[in-house]
Amino acid sequence: MAKVESGRRKIEWVKNHMNVLNYLKELYKDEQPFKDVNVAISIHLEAKTAYLGIVLHELGANVSITGSNPLSTQDDVVEALKEYGLNVHAQRTLDQDIYWKNIEKILESNPNIILDDGADLGITLMNKYPEKVKNLWGICEETTTGVKRYKSLYRQNKLPVPVILINDSYMKYLFDNRYGTGQSTWDGIIRSTNLSVAGKTVVVAGYGWCGKGVAMRAKGLGANVIVTEVDPIKAIEAIMDGFSVMKMNDAARYGDFFVTVTGDINVITKEHFLKMKDGAVLSNAGHFDVEVKVKDLEEIALSKREVREGVEEYILPNGKKVYLLGKGRLVNLVNADGHPVEIMDLSFSLQLEGAKYIKENHEHMKINVEPVPYEIDQKIARIKLDTIGVTIDELTQEQKDYLNDWK
Amino acid sequence: MAKVESGRRKIEWVKNHMNVLNYLKELYKDEQPFKDVNVAISIHLEAKTAYLGIVLHELGANVSITGSNPLSTQDDVVEALKEYGLNVHAQRTLDQDIYWKNIEKILESNPNIILDDGADLGITLMNKYPEKVKNLWGICEETTTGVKRYKSLYRQNKLPVPVILINDSYMKYLFDNRYGTGQSTWDGIIRSTNLSVAGKTVVVAGYGWCGKGVAMRAKGLGANVIVTEVDPIKAIEAIMDGFSVMKMNDAARYGDFFVTVTGDINVITKEHFLKMKDGAVLSNAGHFDVEVKVKDLEEIALSKREVREGVEEYILPNGKKVYLLGKGRLVNLVNADGHPVEIMDLSFSLQLEGAKYIKENHEHMKINVEPVPYEIDQKIARIKLDTIGVTIDELTQEQKDYLNDWK
Amino acid sequence: MAKVESGRRKIEWVKNHMNVLNYLKELYKDEQPFKDVNVAISIHLEAKTAYLGIVLHELGANVSITGSNPLSTQDDVVEALKEYGLNVHAQRTLDQDIYWKNIEKILESNPNIILDDGADLGITLMNKYPEKVKNLWGICEETTTGVKRYKSLYRQNKLPVPVILINDSYMKYLFDNRYGTGQSTWDGIIRSTNLSVAGKTVVVAGYGWCGKGVAMRAKGLGANVIVTEVDPIKAIEAIMDGFSVMKMNDAARYGDFFVTVTGDINVITKEHFLKMKDGAVLSNAGHFDVEVKVKDLEEIALSKREVREGVEEYILPNGKKVYLLGKGRLVNLVNADGHPVEIMDLSFSLQLEGAKYIKENHEHMKINVEPVPYEIDQKIARIKLDTIGVTIDELTQEQKDYLNDWK
Amino acid sequence: MAKVESGRRKIEWVKNHMNVLNYLKELYKDEQPFKDVNVAISIHLEAKTAYLGIVLHELGANVSITGSNPLSTQDDVVEALKEYGLNVHAQRTLDQDIYWKNIEKILESNPNIILDDGADLGITLMNKYPEKVKNLWGICEETTTGVKRYKSLYRQNKLPVPVILINDSYMKYLFDNRYGTGQSTWDGIIRSTNLSVAGKTVVVAGYGWCGKGVAMRAKGLGANVIVTEVDPIKAIEAIMDGFSVMKMNDAARYGDFFVTVTGDINVITKEHFLKMKDGAVLSNAGHFDVEVKVKDLEEIALSKREVREGVEEYILPNGKKVYLLGKGRLVNLVNADGHPVEIMDLSFSLQLEGAKYIKENHEHMKINVEPVPYEIDQKIARIKLDTIGVTIDELTQEQKDYLNDWK
């Protein structure tokens, strides 16, 4: 099939399953809230992101779009997207230069609003094109890692515009990070390896929302789960959820599968690789390819080759093999199709509402790093319930009064 | 066995399993931080609370103690406690007057610090004995319902002292509300009824931390779970956890067991009772006996009798029976022994640290309603890990730097 | 409350929840199938067993009844049962002599049919009263251990009458052994200890149907589960279910709770006790009190005392404490109320149907050890579905033909 | 990559993870037990089956091999297999004729032993080439559907050789049917649709071992599960496992995903399609493409097109869409890579041992349809435990004696 047709079909599939976004599109169709607004997007460029771009485009925006990770871009989707009239610059590649050139091309659009995933787009603008800051009203940031970076900028007083932390909004982290990462990580691992999860020991590094999702699904698939953590509170949560907790140095020898979701660097390194079982499978579901220290692997390995699509075998000096999935990049995006559509429907509806909020309020917004206003979370949740036909109870006046009463 | 001996044995058992509290007792033994401090406690008076009182006593405090619910007091524990030298006024009773008289007797001690559970003690002091406020340094509040009441007072500018919200501290709500309520609620229901949870439909009203725990354990025991909610975000969480969500009006006809954990009134009322299956079992795990509207039941029932210990059968006008556990009061405390010991070890260690924090800082604390400082949460978590022999990873300097870096 | 009243209430409760048995009682009421038949029962004598006896009595049988374990008898139920007109000889006691004397008193009734649980009644008849064999038409055996004993007799050609293996019938072992033992074992452990299961390591010895149930519920309550086995196939099943498998010698040091369900002797012995953590809790859910080798405990312990009802603390020479529940007897029956009512409804409906089958067919039954005929299993299952209002699909003729077709 | 290289890599991957089969290969290498034996294989022809063929070849057999379903054959594996010196005739195709011609080509080899999956190979031999029966020593049948067909032949006295029911052996059905089908079915559905399983309603038709696996994993992935059954005992099992049970006619309106695993025809038909939600996803994990009645779909649909790889959209007269995966054929094989490697390692080790048993015993085997001898199950289980480094307890003599004792 032609690339463009393949991409178009993927986008249509997504469109058919993003009912909250479709609801919002319908709601705002006449209003055209983004008319003449320049929106620049840097989010993993597969069909779901593409459809967010299309919806913004249909609501009036001038949309420029690229990926947020060199290997997570799907080229057929890129081709299709061009036909929808968007300004697209993206390519699946191992060449970092191309990735950064695309970022810069997007910035040529002089964005008023940036939808970012990992903060590469926003931070590049601030660093390299300070003159463009004056056009910029605000940023919506999708993911934990980007939030961390923007918060750091904010603490150092270097943030020139407000950032809405999509990631820290309820309708994002409660669902995307947990259920999204949980399912899609295992999708990536299973389809890459065709190995059984049941009966295996899975080591999950990090027990934040993403780690909780990855561990929960590993258990649901029949694994015995070990969690590693640096935060004692999260460690106890993992224990109370029935998991073993230990240092990576100890866990290294037990794991059949390793998944890193910490947001930090060098979580699994040389000292750990050398303790692993023959055949251990390494994967990362955190934003950047820094959690499994691939450099160490490359350094110590006697040989390396691709043995299945997206699976590289490293032979270690001790004669054992370890398998690295997706080059240590986000396994759910590089070795699979990313989060389930309905999950991204929630996250991207927040992006749309966040962008709309910036457009309408940027003149009096303080420079800050905060989630979407709670009302937006509630609104998205109510629409979601509607789209799946669920009705819930409402507080009676008597119940409201009781809740506000201290007697 | 003599009551006092029975109570003493219960307390000893608890002491043998509250290792975090024991660690703190040892740590502060020489310092005697509560020397000459009047501490008044109103928390469900069974062995775990008793032991908290004893530890405070051993650390120098003048402890006065009563229960926080007329039916959750265990009389043998009360008898034993007297022998430890504490000022105890408490009694298991259906007589509300006795309950309130005990509260007042406790207040005669002119407390400097109040450890409260549901806010009855603190609010009575403020309302009826305003002259005692000047001796009061601060309050630690244990539970969601009390938090709600103190927050309401705070919003109305009627709070005269700072309140530390134990309930809103990580080491409390993540564990006590979820795993504590989860296990002990089902302990209460199962031992009262000897009925199978597997194969049944359980309706959980409220999907906060307590509701999550109750639903999770119902699932773990083999039930099919329906959740009712008023918050659309929590409703979606329940759905994503694999549960059905609907209005109570619809759920009423499906449930074999009902558990309310909303913190609000009149969650299950006449209109629901009349839709229920013959043999439906009603229970409450929220703080007050207002969630299942017992008044409605009493009003419409043709007859009522106790058919097992803690189980009352109501025959409805439609000829069907429903069973109410523990008179609609906290089923885990009235029909069982409350939360597991190790869970309360965490919550009560926070109480101890909260009280110590008030003692040391009350002179410059602002009037506020806040959880314990995060450092206390971390401290308790680290001690807990130590007591169970778990060691976790620590961030390297490189990792810390990375987390603080926005580049 | 008077004992007889307490027992009567327990039986009434059970009656209200044994709908399959009630259905059969109604069905056979006019027929009186057990008229003039002497039925002797030796099954754990609590309310559910009592009600089975009552139903048989109401269907015409002369019922003599005792317990099947000295400590599982509930004295209030015994008192009540006498008032129903049954010939009862039973007593909760630690005195084995009394147990065996009761067995013998029951045998004075010259039973035509024996309903046995553990084979004590049937085997005593054969051994000590061979002259009574001529009146005996057949036996229904309730549990794994009794099945094992009768099968052993059969293999040695020493079985004088047919034995229907209730235990090996689908509607028994699929439900009673798994969901019954699973729930009631944890009921016994939790109410005896008030300790948290979440966050603990549970060692389950034996992964037959009972062990599967105990492990499944431990997991459902938040534990990390280790299984020990002697059968390699069951061991792999446990691994594939996400559990760790190791030798008891290795597991001994990890367990917080131990549950034996093997049907064999000396599963946990001196060498294991001495490796255990301080505070380990020992319990047995297998038929006889031989799995945890209590004799070893008694031998090595420096001291022993009851620290909670049904919990004995042994102090070992290494200074550590271990706690033994229910003296190593069936923890679900000695420290709780046994299996859930609805589960026993299925098992006891099989007993009723098994007894009826023996009565109607004993003249031409071969001496054999077999489950109930499959039709009886199906019948009980269909009635159960009816009583809970579930309807299922039926095969069309076309579908039946397809299933019988090899083309 | 060249097809042959792609296939070779897949086979190597499998080889690296089939440790039981590798163990047996090593064990029998010198003996060459299949020297001069003609072995014909008809099993889903992807890498795992290929490797079984290669091992038999290395142990001396003349191996002829084809697939067992037109769409489950992987062409790159076929190409690679030719290079290993096997007689291969197979092709991924929608053309049934090609499928049957390949079957016939395989039969030209005059097999002594047939390894069958669905019984097509064996039954074709019997029906069309009766003269070849005299060379045939016996058959090993892999799957439920084939077992059903051979049993039907046996009951009708038409079976000319013994059939070893691999499917009915413990080490097959306990693992392959449950954990294999469970994981691989969801792998197929998730990678085809990129939809969330969490928060969805899944209808599983059939609660045999395969259905149990599919339902268990659906639950583990966060779904709410409805089971349909025709067997009342299995229906109650499903209920006790926490699932809803109802007729397909009722379930049709609730399901987001449907999975059939009944082994029977016309489980989901026109009347059900017309009740489904817009967007319902239909899939089959039973052997033949007869469970979802595709003919009905084709008949009533207004239009049909492929919207993602392996996903066909049918627009129904009521305007709703339903999606059919893999044309109603085995979704785990057509839309994914089939069962996990380690699971097939167990099943195929049984095939190898079954074939060896036939070779060594065919002269005095009775014509029968039976699982492998229990010793083979035990042997495979023990090797598996060895390969994953797990050691288990062994019965002491005392324990063995106790088990055999009826006293």
**Cβ-defined contact of C233 to D390 (cutoff 8 Å):** no
Q: Is residue A250 part of a domain?
A: yes
Q: Which DSSP symbol is given to A143?
A: S
One-letter amino acid of C184: S
pLDDT of res. D72: 87
Tell me the backbone φ, ψ of residue A195, rounded to 5 degrees. -100, 160
pLDDT of res. B94: 83
Q: Which of B183, B194, B199 sits opposite C337 (nearest CB)?
A: B194
Q: Is residue B405 part of a domain?
A: no
In chain A, the residue whose alpha carbon lies closest to the alpha carbon of C237 is A199
B36 lies in the same domain as B118: yes
pLDDT of res. A157: 94
Give, in degrees to the nearest 5, the angle at Cα B320 between B313 and B217. 65
In chain C, the residue whose alpha carbon lies closest to the alpha carbon of D288 is C402
Q: Is residue D73 part of a domain?
A: yes
Q: Is residue A404 part of a domain?
A: no
* Per-position DSSP letters for C2-32, written without gaps between them: -HHHHHHHHHHHHHTT-HHHHHHHHHHTTT-
Write down the pTM of the prediction: 0.95
**Cβ-defined contact of C224 to A236 (cutoff 8 Å):** no
**Cβ-defined contact of C265 to D377 (cutoff 8 Å):** no
Over the stretch B342-369, which tens digit does the pLDDT of each residue have? Answer: 999 999 999 999 999 999 999 999 999 9
The H-or-E segment that residue D270 falls in is helix D270-273
Establish if C338 touches chain B: CB-CB under 8 angstroms.
yes
Residue A382: which residues within 8 A CB-CB, separation 6 or more? B232
Residue D210: which residues within 8 A CB-CB, separation 6 or more? D144, D177, D178, D181, D261, D285, D286
d(CA D168, CA D377): 11
Q: Which of D119, D157, D160, D170 is nearest to D138 (CA)?
A: D160
d(CA B109, CA B38): 7
Quote the number of domains for chain C: 2
A223 lies in the same domain as A164: no
Nearest-Cα distance to chain B for A396, in Å, is 9
Q: Is residue B75 part of a domain?
A: yes
Nearest-Cα distance to chain C for B133, in Å, is 37
A148 lies in the same domain as A287: no
C248 lies in the same domain as C381: no
**Cβ-defined contact of A340 to D220 (cutoff 8 Å):** no
Give, in degrees to the nearest 5, the angle at Cα B38 between B32 and B39. 90
How confident is the model over D114-124, as a mean pLDDT?
96
C38 lies in the same domain as C138: yes
The interface predicted TM-score of the complex, written ipTM, equals 0.94
DSSP strands (E only) in D285-355: 303-308, 311-315, 321-325
Known binding positions of B for NAD(+): 143-145, 208-213, 229, 285-287, 332, 339
Q: Which residue has the higher pLDDT, B133 or D404?
A: B133
Establish if C342 touches chain D: CB-CB under 8 angstroms.
no
With 80 as the cut, is the pLDDT of residue C207 above it? yes
Domain CATH number, residue D357: 3.40.50.1480
D149 lies in the same domain as D9: yes
A345 lies in the same domain as A286: no
Separation of first and last alpha carbons in chain D: 69
d(CA C11, CA B155): 54
**Cβ-defined contact of B242 to D223 (cutoff 8 Å):** yes
C82 pLDDT band, cuts 50/70/90, is very high
Nearest-Cα distance to chain B for C401, in Å, is 33
Residue C131: which residues within 8 A CB-CB, separation 6 or more? none
Residues in chain C with CB shorter than 8 Å from the CB of A251 are none
- How far is residue C38 from each of residues B210, B273, C43, measured CA to CA in Å? 53, 45, 16
d(CA B88, CA B68): 13
Over the stretch C246-270, which tens digit does the pLDDT of each residue have? Answer: 999 999 999 999 999 999 999 999 9
Establish if D393 touches chain C: CB-CB under 8 angstroms.
yes
| Cβ burial D355-370 (10 Å sphere, 16+ → b, else e) | bbbbbeeeeebeeebe
d(CA C133, CA C161): 8
B262 pLDDT band, cuts 50/70/90, is very high
Average pLDDT, chain A: 96
B70 pLDDT band, cuts 50/70/90, is confident
Separation of first and last alpha carbons in chain B: 70
| CA atoms in the 13 A half-sphere facing the CB of B24 | 32
Give, in degrees to the nearest 5, the angle at Cα A168 between A162 and A170. 125
C147 lies in the same domain as C249: no
* Domain that residue D262 falls in: 180-334
pLDDT of res. B407: 73
Residue A230, judged by CB atoms within 10 A of its CB (0-12, 13-18, 19+), counts as buried
pLDDT of res. D71: 85
d(CA D254, CA D272): 11
Residue A157: which residues within 8 A CB-CB, separation 6 or more? none
Answer yes or no: is C212 a known binding residue: yes
The H-or-E segment that residue A43 falls in is none
**Cβ-defined contact of B13 to C342 (cutoff 8 Å):** no
Residues in chain B: 407
**Cβ-defined contact of D341 to A194 (cutoff 8 Å):** yes
Q: Is residue B268 part of a domain?
A: yes
Known binding positions of B: 143-145, 208-213, 229, 285-287, 332, 339
| Cβ burial B45-76 (10 Å sphere, 16+ → b, else e) | bbbbbbbbbbbbbbbbbbbbbbbbbbbbbbeb
A and B: number of Cβ contacts within 8 A: 146
* Of the residues A334, A369, A402, the one at which a domain ends: A334
How confident is the model over C144-150, as a mean pLDDT?
92
3-state SS string over chain B? CCHHHHHHHHHHHHHHHCHHHHHHHHHHCCCCCCCCCEEEEECCCCHHHHHHHHHHHHCCCEEEEECCCCCCCCHHHHHHHHHCCCEECCCCCCCHHHHHHHHHHHHCCCCCEEEECCCHHHHHHHHHCHHHHHHCCEEEECCHHHHHHHHHHHHCCCCCCCEEEHHHCHHHHHHHHHHHHHHHHHHHHHHHHCCCCCCCEEEEECCCHHHHHHHHHHHHCCCEEEEECCCHHHHHHHHHCCCEECCHHHHCCCCCEEEECCCCCCCECHHHHCCCCCCEEEEECCCCCCCECHHHHHHHCCEEEEEECCEEEEECCCCCEEEEEHHHCEHHHHCCCCCCHHHHHHHHHHHHHHHHHHHHHHHHCCCCEECCCHHHHHHHHHHHHHHCCCCCCCCCHHHHHHHHCCC
Token pair, residue A87, equals: 């300004």
Over the stretch D224-272, which tens digit does the pLDDT of each residue have? Answer: 999 999 999 999 999 999 999 999 999 999 999 999 999 999 999 999 9
Establish if A244 touches chain C: CB-CB under 8 angstroms.
yes
Over the stretch B291-342, which tens digit does the pLDDT of each residue have? Answer: 999 999 999 999 999 999 999 999 999 999 999 999 999 999 999 999 999 9
Domain CATH number, residue C253: 3.40.50.720
Residues in chain D with CB shorter than 8 Å from the CB of B242 are 198-199, 219, 222-224
A163 lies in the same domain as A218: no
- How far is residue B14 from each of residues C185, C188, D31, measured CA to CA in Å? 22, 18, 65
* Of the residues A270, A304, A334, the one at which a domain ends: A334
pLDDT of res. C287: 86
Q: Are the C-beta atoms of residues D224 and D234 closer than 8 Å to each other?
A: no
Q: Is residue C147 part of a domain?
A: yes
A359 pLDDT band, cuts 50/70/90, is very high
Q: Are the C-beta atoms of residues B198 and D242 closer than 8 Å to each other?
A: yes
pLDDT of res. A72: 87
A121 lies in the same domain as A22: yes
Token pair, residue C167, equals: 């235990």
One-letter amino acid of D29: K
Over the stretch A219-243, which tens digit does the pLDDT of each residue have? Answer: 999 999 999 999 999 999 999 999 9
| CA atoms in the 13 A half-sphere facing the CB of B130 | 4
Q: Are the C-beta atoms of residues B312 and B324 closer than 8 Å to each other?
A: yes
With 80 as the cut, is the pLDDT of residue A15 above it? yes
Over the stretch C91-101, which tens digit does the pLDDT of each residue have? Answer: 998 889 999 99
d(CA A372, CA B11): 49
Average pLDDT, chain B: 96
- How far is residue B270 from each of residues A193, B30, D235, measured CA to CA in Å? 56, 58, 34
Over the stretch A173-230, which tens digit does the pLDDT of each residue have? Answer: 999 999 999 999 999 999 999 999 999 999 999 999 999 999 999 999 999 999 999 9
Establish if D187 touches chain A: CB-CB under 8 angstroms.
yes
d(CA B68, CA B73): 8
Q: Are the C-beta atoms of residues C284 and C259 closer than 8 Å to each other?
A: yes
C215 lies in the same domain as C103: no
Best of B196, B214, B305, B322 to substitute, by most chain C Cβ atoms within 10 angstroms, is B196
Give the other-Cβ count within 10 Å of A349's Cβ. 27
Tell me the backbone φ, ψ of residue C4, rounded to 5 degrees. -65, -35
Tell me the backbone φ, ψ of residue D381, rounded to 5 degrees. -65, -45
A194 lies in the same domain as A164: no
Query: Taking a contact as any Cβ pair under 8 Å apart, which residues of chain B between 124 and 153 contact chain A?
Result: 148-150, 152-153
d(CA B181, CA B187): 10
Q: Is residue A59 part of a domain?
A: yes
In chain A, the residue whose alpha carbon lies closest to the alpha carbon of C240 is A199
- How far is residue B13 from each of residues A31, B1, B10, B51, C301, measured CA to CA in Å? 68, 16, 5, 10, 19
